Amino acid sequence: MSGGEAAAAVVHARPAGASRFDPSALVVAAFGLFLALLVGLPLAWLAYYALTDAAGAPTLANLERLVTDETLRAPLQISLVVATCVGLLSAAVAAPIAWLAARTNMPGRGFLRVLVTASFVTPPFLGAIAWEILAAPNSGLLNQWYRWLYDLPPFVHLLDIYSVAGLIFVDTCYAFPFVFVLVANGLDRTPGDMEDASAILGAKPWRTAWRITLPLALPAVLAGMMVAFLRSLTLFGTPAILALPGNFHTITTKIWSLFQYPPNPGLAAAASIPLLVLTILLLRAERWVLGRRSYAVIGAKNSPPRPVDLKAWRWPALALCLVVLCNPVFLPYLALVRAALSKTIGEPLTLATMTLQHVRFVFFEFSPTRLALQNTVILAVATATVGTALALVIAYVASRKVIAGHRALAFLATAPIAVPGIVLGVGLFLAYTRGPVVLYGTLWILFLAYLTIELPAAYQQLQSAFQSLHPELEEAGRLFGAGRMRTLKDILAPLLKTAVLAAWCFIFIGVMRELSAAVMLFTAQTKVISVVIYDLNESGDLGAISVLGITLLVVTFAIVFVAQRLSGRVGRARAA
């Protein structure tokens, strides 16, 4: 029997009803409708409030005030200045460190990447609070040491973290890891043929790096700058902690303030639109830049890049990198530990002055802690589970192109990345504070916010995992009568187990550290840990904040460790 006759026999051997109805099309249609409502409904209400007055009549008054009102124009200008400086400084700091980690024989390169990961996963609002402990004009530890060292009177300070410069500094500390990851990964993947040719022609390593390596990495540097700029522009936690005490606003804190008493939702919606438009434009520009990053090597197999020998400069280079990483990692973490174990910030930390009163207060006396922990865990588990399942099905449909609308479904899964958290929070607040469905005051509205924010990352990760599996595995199941959903459940799911678990972990981490949307949507009964930390910062209880912050970091790093182990197993399985 020929191969074609055998295949035909298998097909005819299928159960008679196997081809009559495949529920996958209905499932995919339902997912598409859900995603469209998930993102489209809040944005539709955002546009409605921005373009109508209190009576519901059409108007452009809200948009006109964005241009004419100095109290609205100034925050946007400050945000643009801060974001531009953060983008430039992040690239200036991250690109050399990425080159040292990826292309030289500097010792401790693996440890350096671990430290960058630590700064990457640290919630920015927690880093801002740590630098508040370090560099507040009066109570900051660095300013106290400065006054003690030079015998200066009180209130004299060297650093003022409550300033535009302080905001730029702290924001850069937690934005440069994004640039580092893009540039380091780009350098890791770039073949070394052209660099070898440059060396053969007599160019010194520094000239090769300047003329060959840098141009190849330049698109990644530019894309990293855009990511840092966008992240700074849309961030709420850091400016809320550092800008508001300094008596100035950024666009995100101004949007938040428009919901305080007396609330002005129409103006808040209008102020959100420029942020949304800028985000979309920058994401398109980032894709265009990365899309143009291409090169071709004619000939045999590409050679791996050879590390540049730094000779006597190896250890000074490592020392310089560690000094840079003191700002996002070592100093903030030490400040949090010191504040958690000290009765007051001002007194020296010794065995005699150490105390656990902040730990007792947070976990046994402070009533919001238990409810916030419970809400956070419930939301993190629910969002990670539903988000992973949703991303799994969408990634399967998009990667296998099983229906005509697979591109639209993939677009809907990635579209939320263009919606800043504060803008999404405004849209959800406007959409679900009135009928027919009222979700404000419940955990459901926070669940929708978290699911919308975290879905794109999970989808992209699982889509990459699907691309590593050959479609013949599914075709075999289909020949024996299994539908698409049955094939996904029985054949692909076991092979994707580690990737699915890793995606689940990443969503869980994202929910634990999210503040921008949560600060717009919480009530007294739906507070989460990030909101509790923000509230405690407003009351000035830095000891309790430090205890909660350290708890959040411990949980986050535990999940990151699990995710890295799972990712390593996936990589080894692919290599095998």
Amino acid identity of residue 246, one-letter, is G
* pLDDT (0 to 100) of residue 347: 74
Q: Which two tokens stand for residue 87?
A: 């983008």
DSSP secondary structure string for all residues of 366-380: -HHHHHHHHHHHHHH
Last residue of a domain, one of 354, 377, 393: 354
Residues 323, 424 within the same domain: no
Is the residue at 70 inside a domain?
Answer: no
CB 544 within 8 A of CB 343: no
Number of domains present in the structure of the chain: 2
Last residue of a domain, one of 319, 339, 354: 354
Residues of the chain with pLDDT under 70: 1-25, 27, 189-214, 290-305, 402-405, 470, 472-475, 477-478, 480-485, 488, 493, 564, 566-576
Last residue of a domain, one of 354, 374, 396: 354
Is the residue at 208 inside a domain?
Answer: yes
Calpha distance 564→554 (Å, rounded): 15
Residues 93, 119 within the same domain: yes
CB 249 within 8 A of CB 243: yes
Residues 100, 237 within the same domain: yes
Looking up tokens 């399985």, which residue turns up? 573
* pLDDT (0 to 100) of residue 569: 54
Is the residue at 66 inside a domain?
Answer: no
Measured between alpha carbons, how far apart are the two ends of the chain, in Å? Answer: 34
Residues 327, 435 within the same domain: no
Is the residue at 180 inside a domain?
Answer: yes
Calpha distance 433→473 (Å, rounded): 47
Is the residue at 256 inside a domain?
Answer: no
Is the residue at 16 inside a domain?
Answer: no
Q: Which residues pair with 354 in a beta bridge?
A: 342
* pLDDT (0 to 100) of residue 381: 92
CB 448 within 8 A of CB 63: no
Give the number of other CB atoms < 10 A from CB of residue 551: 18
Is the residue at 122 inside a domain?
Answer: yes
Residues 534, 576 within the same domain: yes
Residues 220, 116 within the same domain: yes
CATH number at residue 96: 1.10.3720.10
Residues 238, 225 within the same domain: yes
With vertex at residue 140, the alpha carbon angle to CA 136 and CA 142, rounded to the nearest 5 degrees, is 120
**Which domain does 506 fall in, by range?**
21-53+356-576
* pLDDT (0 to 100) of residue 22: 54
Is the residue at 278 inside a domain?
Answer: no
CB 422 within 8 A of CB 514: no
Residues 411, 348 within the same domain: no
Q: Which two tokens stand for residue 10?
A: 């298998």
Residues 462, 328 within the same domain: no
Residues 327, 208 within the same domain: yes
Residues 556, 440 within the same domain: yes
Residues 325, 427 within the same domain: no
